[in-house]
């Protein structure tokens, strides 16, 4: 699987973009920067977006990609998430007030977006991939994703603090190629990290140790807050027994 890093930060500046990743130019994982980071052609190539949760830094560019795709005449874009996440999108985002309801534009029969419900731990096919959602531990309903193709899988943590079920499921995976893992705040900001459901390097280490062979699992870190980028990277570099790297904008990786 080819991974394109469109946005990998926990905040937004001209040099940082909020979470959005693309597999094989077809399947997006979160929509924090799908329009600020992709040209129109790549936006139109997407078949589906997996939405981990309804926080704005993960959904914001659903608004602008829907608008662009409506103008560009693209195929309907599948917006995939749990019932709880899709319910927030319908009621509070594409609600005809904050933004139009693109499931009825240009027509209900030929919409710009379509919703698809993902039940936790039930694998479905999306855009040629197998996809499972695993619930993680954040301030609202949030899922990790395990995405598989031809027997190999990659995982995406979603926003989470210390969690358990994800590691149980990942320990059962036969050919897990990589984990995209959140870390947001430095150790000094533990109180805000805990109250906002995020990791610091010091909580990341024991969580990753719940995986049986963390040293063999390429763990690609994302969601660092721009103000803390340097200090979080420094603290992560000191963690022993792991296989960590920090993702950068524009990275393209073969997993
Ligand atoms: Zn969040
Ligand atoms: Zn976030």
pLDDT in tens, 54-90: 999 999 999 999 999 999 989 999 999 999 999 999 9
pLDDT at 169: 98
pLDDT > 70 fraction of the chain, expressed in percent and rounded: 100
- What is d(CA 196, CA 139) in angstroms, rounded to the nearest whole number? 6
Mean pLDDT of the 149-162 span: 97
Number of Cβ atoms within 10 Å of the Cβ of 152: 15
Cα of 212 from ligand 1 centre, angstroms = 27
Q: How far apart are alpha carbons 255 and 213 in whole angstroms?
A: 18
Per the CB < 8 A criterion, the answer to whether 135 and 143 are in contact is: yes
Q: Is the pTM of this model over 0.85?
A: yes
Q: How far apart are the CA of 185 and the centre of ligand 1, in A?
A: 13
**Burial track 107-116 (b if 16+ CB lie within 10 A, e otherwise):** eeeebbbebe
Q: Taking the alpha carbons of 246, 204, 10, 123 in that order, is the dihedral positive or negative?
A: positive
Q: What percentage of the chain reaches a pLDDT higher than 90?
A: 100
Give the pLDDT of residue 51.
98
What is the C-alpha to C-alpha distance for residues 164 and 160, in angstroms, rounded to an integer?
Answer: 11
Average of per-residue pLDDT values in the chain: 98
Q: What is the pLDDT of residue 167?
A: 98
Q: What is the 58 CA–ligand 2 centroid distance (Å)?
A: 6
Q: What SS3 state is found at 131?
A: strand
Q: What is the mean pLDDT of residues 198-227?
A: 98
What is the Å distance from ligand 2's center to 79 Cα? 18
């Amino acid at each position: 699987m080819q991974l394109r890093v469109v946005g990998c930060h926990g905040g937004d500046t001209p040099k940082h973009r909020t979470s959005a990743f693309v597999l094989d130019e077809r399947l997006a994982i979160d929509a924090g920067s799908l329009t600020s980071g992709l040209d129109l052609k790549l936006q139109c190539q997407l078949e589906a977006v997996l939405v981990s949760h309804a926080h704005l830094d993960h959904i914001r560019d659903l608004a602008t990609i829907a608008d662009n795709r409506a103008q560009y005449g693209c195929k309907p874009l599948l917006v995939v998430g749990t019932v709880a996440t899709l319910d927030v999108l319908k009621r509070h985002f594409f609600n005809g007030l904050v933004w139009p309801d693109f499931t009825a534009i240009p027509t209900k029969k030929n919409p710009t977006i379509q919703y698809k419900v993902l039940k936790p731990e039930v694998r479905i096919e999306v855009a040629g991939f197998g996809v499972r959602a695993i619930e993680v531990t954040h301030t609202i309903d949030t899922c990790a994703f395990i995405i598989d193709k031809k027997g190999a899988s990659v995982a995406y943590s979603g926003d989470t603090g210390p969690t358990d079920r994800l590691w149980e499921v990942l320990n059962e995976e036969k050919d897990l190629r990589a984990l995209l893992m959140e870390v947001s705040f430095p150790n000094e900001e533990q109180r805000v990290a805990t109250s906002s459901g995020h990791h610091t390097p010091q909580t990341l280490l024991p969580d990753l140790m719940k995986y049986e062979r963390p040293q063999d699992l390429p763990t690609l870190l994302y969601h660092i807050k721009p103000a803390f980028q340097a200090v979080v990277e420094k603290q992560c570099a000191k963690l022993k027994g792991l296989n960590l790297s920090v993702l950068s904008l524009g990275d393209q990786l073969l997993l």
